Structure 1
Amino acid sequence: MKVYVDQDLCIACGLCIDTCPAVFDWNDEGKSHVIVDEVPEGEEQACRDSIDGCPTEAIKEV
């Protein structure tokens, strides 16, 4: 599973980072970004929860 964060849609709410810190972290602009090439095994559900919970639908699965 691979995901990305659309920087134009991210509002830096931090929900994805709180939900799945193994995949998301803050970037230099203060927005969320993906820190792994592939979602680690065992983190898929937390990552999907981040996708579903994103208020601006900025997180996409590729």
Structure 2
Amino acid sequence: MCHDTRSWLGQRPQGCLHACLAAMPPSKELLVDKGYGCKAFREWLVQRGTTPVIPSRPTTQKP
């Protein structure tokens, strides 16, 4: 989903979180670490009806 060189059991952290969230009903808001703030993940949350509450990275030009 997002480019990230870190891995957990061979999967990107966003992929693991995405799989867990996809298995649950959407929540009104989701608070996660800024490591999960890629555009594609934010857009997916909004499509589900969830407001992403994710701090921006200092290098992000548009959160």
Q: Fold conserved (TM > 0.5)?
A: no
- Tell me which of the two structures has the higher relative contact order, counting C-alpha pairs closer than 8 angstroms and 6 or more residues apart: 1
Please say which structure displays the higher CA radius of gyration.
Answer: 2
> Normalising by structure 2, what TM-score?
0.31
> Normalising by structure 1, what TM-score?
0.31
Higher helix share: 2
Higher strand share: 1
